[in-house]
Structure 1
Amino acid sequence: MNTFKGLRSQQFSETELISLIISGQKRLFEYIMRGYNQRLYRIGMSILHRDIDVEDMMQNTYLKAYEHLNEFEQKSLLGTWLTRIMINECLLQKKRSQHFDTESAESYLESKSDLQTPEKILINKELGQQLENAIRKLPEQYRLVFVLREIENLSVKETGKALNIGVSNVKASLSRAKIMLRKDLIGYLGENIFKLHRSRCDKVVNHVINKLDISA
């Protein structure tokens, strides 16, 4: 079970942290956000590919999770629950965006220029960018399975729950994803892939805190 550190030198299990938040210590929700920001960002980038869209969906995910935290039945891990909310939010956003046929030159140029910001230059080294591009080319299901299993290190069972697919499907999708990726790239996968910069992490957390008015 995940534990959250840094709060008065104590460690809290997910169950304890959720109980504290529900009982009125709302500000502790920040620890949940900071604990799962990187995972949700990677999932979002696997579906939507644009930082600004992913940030919006992360915020939506946390707002929905906070609103329904007292309804969370701990039959699965908190991370799995958040992952499923994030995936649903991203797929809905993707569906909405497909109503517009103009994600061609304009959106392409915008996304390319975003990759050239100083933040991106510092974070994404040449190899990291090549790896991200290779992962983006995978079909969506293979891409999501690969990110959850190989980068986020979720178990086969938790990956299946998050994506609503069977264990055998998870294994087959991961195998196909690996085949489709060049072998010499796989060994370099790590923290540079869809890396969430501290400033973006703070931005999402602060936005949600302000929305929920739990800063005190």
Structure 2
Amino acid sequence: MTAFEKYTDLEVVQKIGAGEVELFEIIIRRYNPFLYKVGRSYNYNHEDTQDLMQDSYIDAFTSLSKFENRSAFKTWIIKIMLNNCFRKQQRWSSKNIINAKINEIATPMFSNHKHTDTNKTVINHELCGVIENALQQIPLDYRMVFSLREVNGLNVLETADALDISEANVKVRLNRAKSMLRKEVEKSYSTEDIYEFNLIYCDKMVENVMDKLKKSAI
């Protein structure tokens, strides 16, 4: 069993606090997929999402002493990413750059093996665009609830905590978000297929964040 699998989030946080900074790599690898999905759900492109992820990891590292284990670590770090996404959006708005679009540099990877033949692969790429376009039409408040609940797998309480809304509000927004998506999209794909952090970027993210931590001598 590797350290990645062996330690709980709280154990990793405690070990980092005790000086084992190199174990922060576990946090990065564990939460790359979750933070990536948050950034893409906010309609940031691949490069902007990766920049936001790096910023969020640095913020998380510098704030580890403030993590009180009152909520799940997953919720805590996703909330940091959400805050960074929101701040970036506000900066863009002030410069009248509101209509940021998802580009095609990174093609979402599928997490299962049900789409294997060439014809289905082509169709998958096309439908991925349909899914992303459909989600972009949903107002942000509903889109983020859908992303956290259905794409990132947070439960109702965790989603409410991350977004600072009530559990009842989470349920209402999720139902409305689903109703906004075209029925053929929901029938064609499972929700986890929507955005998958391409594993080829995982090592690079670890390298970049750990390098920044070393250089800043945090």
Q: What is the TM-score when the length of structure 1 is the normalising length?
A: 0.85
Distance 1:167 1:198, change over 3 A: same
CA distance in 1, matches of 2:60, 2:156: 24
CA distance in 2, matches of 1:13, 1:179: 37
CA distance in 1, matches of 2:5, 2:71: 24
The alignment status of 1:30 with 2:30, answered yes or no, reads: no
Q: Which residue of structure 2 aligns with residue 130 of structure 1?
A: 130
**Which segment is superposed worse, 156-165 or 21-30?**
21-30
Once the two structures are superposed, residues 103-147 of structure 1 have per-residue CA deviations (whole angstroms, 9 ceiling, x without a partner) of 66xx66xx5xx41x4x52877722222112211211001000001
CA distance in 2, matches of 1:63, 1:139: 29
Runs of 5+ consecutive residues of structure 2 not aligned to the other structure = 111-123
In the TM superposition, what is the alpha-carbon distance from 1:101 to its structure 2 partner? 2.6
Structure 2 contact 109–198 (Cα < 8 Å) conserved: no
The alignment status of 1:45 with 2:32, answered yes or no, reads: no
Distance 1:11 1:120, change over 3 A: same
Q: Tell me the amino acid that sits aligned with residue 212 of structure 1.
A: L
Pairs within 5 Å for 1:90-129: 90-102=85-97, 114-115=103-104, 117=105, 119-120=106-107, 125-129=125-129
Runs of 5+ consecutive residues of structure 1 not aligned to the other structure = none
**Which segment is superposed worse, 119-128 or 136-145?**
119-128
Q: Which residue of structure 1 aligns with residue 156 of structure 2?
A: 156
Distance 1:103 1:152, change over 3 A: closer
The alignment status of 1:194 with 2:189, answered yes or no, reads: no
Once the two structures are superposed, residues 179-206 of structure 1 have per-residue CA deviations (whole angstroms, 9 ceiling, x without a partner) of 1011221241344312211232222221
Q: Which residue of structure 1 aligns with residue 208 of structure 2?
A: 207
Q: Which residue of structure 2 aligns with residue 70 of structure 1?
A: 65
In proportion to residue count, which structure has more strand? Answer: 1
Structure 2 contact 132–194 (Cα < 8 Å) conserved: yes
Identity of aligned residues (%): 36
**Which segment is superposed worse, 25-34 or 201-210?**
201-210
User: Aligned-pair RMSD on alpha carbons?
Assistant: 2.2
In the TM superposition, what is the alpha-carbon distance from 1:102 to its structure 2 partner? 4.9
Number of matched residues? Answer: 201
**Which segment is superposed worse, 194-203 or 59-68?**
194-203
